[in-house]
């Protein structure tokens, strides 16, 4: 299965899976314009600007109005979605059945599970402190946040800069250890790819 990590991390997020599904549009429009001709579905995980760039969305709506935009109600309030996702309720489209599940962050975040046109079971989740709500099944492809090494983050537990705590900020995200544990427990085979997302420049 083809996929393209256009950008991942705090500077912007956008991933294309299977050629016709894009996850998040938190990058400048010029960075994704050439990819949009084949995109049918744009899943927005949450409202943070590095995942939902309003200027980019305005240009997508103007130039690619056929793309179906899917997001939770907070995303819908920020940008009018074609389909409003609800956790644990399948979204049935002409091509796929997307299964949204709630992630844990400081805003409402959804991860997504679906089966590609070539029969690959995919899970995508980022900006979450846990995968406890992810569907319990076997997956072929794992697109998972792998933000930080727990030992590196623990080393700055007592550090603060004003009211900012890098430790508490990091704990809002999934650690590499958590992501790998989920991968090993849910992979369909040892060859199942694990694609790490949203790595911290400081603590990964």
In CATH, what number is assigned to the domain containing residue 59?
3.60.15.10
Kindly state the percentage of the chain with pLDDT values over 70. 100
Does residue 204 belong to any structural domain of this protein?
no
Q: Is pLDDT at 127 greater than 90 in this prediction?
A: yes
The tally of domains found in the chain comes to 1
Q: What is the pLDDT of residues 6-60, one digit of tens each?
A: 999 999 999 999 999 999 999 999 999 999 999 999 999 999 999 999 999 999 9
Does residue 11 belong to any structural domain of this protein?
yes
Q: Is pLDDT at 101 greater than 90 in this prediction?
A: yes
Domain that holds residue 112: 3-197
- Reduced 3-state DSSP string for 89-156: CCEECCCCEEEEEEECCCCCEEEEEEECCCCCEEEEECCCCCCCCCCCCCECEEEEECCECHHHHHCC
pLDDT band for 161, please (50, 70, 90 cuts).
confident
Against a cut of 0.75, is the pTM above it?
A: yes
Q: CA separation (Å) from 119 to 95, 123, 139, 153, 159?
A: 12, 13, 11, 38, 47
Does residue 131 belong to any structural domain of this protein?
yes
Does residue 134 belong to any structural domain of this protein?
yes
Does residue 203 belong to any structural domain of this protein?
no
- C-alpha angle with apex 43: 106 to 182, nearest 5 degrees? 65
Q: What is the pLDDT of residues 80-95, one digit of tens each?
A: 999 999 999 999 999 9
How many C-beta atoms lie closer than 10 Å to residue 153's C-beta? 22
């Amino acid at each position: 299965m083809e996929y393209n990590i256009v950008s991942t991390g705090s500077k912007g997020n956008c991933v294309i899976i299977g050629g016709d599904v894009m996850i998040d549009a938190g990058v400048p429009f010029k960075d994704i314009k050439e990819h949009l001709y084949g995109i049918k579905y744009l899943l927005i995980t949450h409202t943070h600007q590095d995942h939902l760039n309003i200027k980019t969305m305005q240009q997508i709506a103007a130039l690619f109005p056929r793309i179906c935009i899917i997001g939770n109600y907070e995303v819908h309030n920020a940008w009018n979605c074609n389909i409003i996702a609800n956790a644990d309720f399948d979204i049935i489209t002409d091509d796929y059945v997307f299964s949204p599940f709630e992630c844990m962050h400081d805003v409402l975040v959804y991860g997504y599970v679906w089966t590609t046109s070539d029969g690959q079971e995919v899970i995508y989740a980022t900006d979450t402190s846990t995968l406890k709500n992810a569907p319990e099944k076997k997956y072929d492809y794992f697109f998972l946040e792998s933000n930080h090494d727990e030992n590196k983050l623990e080393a700055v537990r007592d550090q603060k800069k004003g009211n900012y705590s890098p430790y508490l900020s990091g704990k809002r995200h999934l650690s590499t250890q958590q992501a790998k544990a989920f991968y090993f427990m849910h992979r369909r085979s040892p060859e199942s790819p694990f694609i790490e997302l949203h790595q911290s420049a400081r603590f990964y």
